[in-house]
Amino acid sequence: MSPETSFIARYDEAKRAAVEDTLQKVVRAQGIAAIALAVVWGFVTLLPIAVVAADGQVTAALVLAVTLVVPLAIGALGVRQLRRRPRMPEIAVAITPTSVQFPALERPSALAPRVRAEQWVREGTTAEIRPASGLFQAPLVVFTRQDGGKLRRRTVSAENLDIDPRILVDALGGTASA
């Protein structure tokens, strides 16, 4: 492949929809679990407060009431998680004559930070296909770049792409090992 060639690797629509459905189920389950944990923790925390308040120790009851902040925060995170609607971007990676561009990715957890969009210089960026192993049921296209002593990596599932992943590897001069 010539360095002047541009490629846009998109996610296959059917597989993208399947991944988004799975993400929605995971997000919903996480939200429900967080709310359930908050309710249980709230009851466990509320019981000592009620006992101390019934004993007439108002200041101790107020101090213990502060401990209700934790289950309230977990409950708020659970509600926030239920409202999330994570979506996958249309484009997996774009390779232009001068750069390799990755879109921003939204993670299914409300606590995990969003993966920012990045643009790497094409020269010095390599790609390889890693076969499926362990928990990863599909081969991955691994993009690697060495930036001033810092190794940067981004991965894309080769199974979900609308083009042959070997085209991306060949465009960057990497190794297709799958």
Residue for token pair 């691994």: 142
Averaged over 70-98, what is the pLDDT?
A: 90
178 DSSP 8-state letter: -
Per-domain residue ranges of the chain: 7-12+87-176, 26-83
pLDDT tens for each residue of 20-50: 999 899 999 999 999 999 999 988 888 877 7
Q: Determine what percent of the chain is predicted with pLDDT higher than 90.
A: 25
Residue type, 64: L
d(CA 10, CA 97): 18
Tokens describing residue 96: 């232009």
d(CA 150, CA 137): 28
User: Is the sign of the CA dihedral 156, 160, 163, 165 positive or negative?
Assistant: positive
Q: What is the largest CA-CA distance in the chain?
A: 81
105 DSSP 8-state letter: B
Q: Is the pLDDT of residue 74 over 90?
A: yes
User: Is the sign of the CA dihedral 123, 93, 8, 143 positive or negative?
Assistant: positive
pLDDT given at position 33: 96
Residue 149 vs residue 79, higher pLDDT: 79
CB 176 within 8 Å of CB 141 = no
| Three-state DSSP class for residue 165 | helix
CB 19 within 8 Å of CB 88 = yes
| Three-state DSSP class for residue 136 | strand
Residue type, 15: K
What is the CATH code of the structural domain delimited by 7-12+87-176? 2.30.29
Q: Is the pLDDT of residue 166 over 70?
A: yes
Q: Is the pLDDT of residue 89 over 80?
A: yes
Tokens describing residue 101: 């561009």
pLDDT tens for each residue of 101-154: 999 988 888 777 888 999 998 888 888 888 877 776 788 889 999 888 889 999
Question: What is the H or E stretch that residue 19 is in?
Answer: helix 13-54
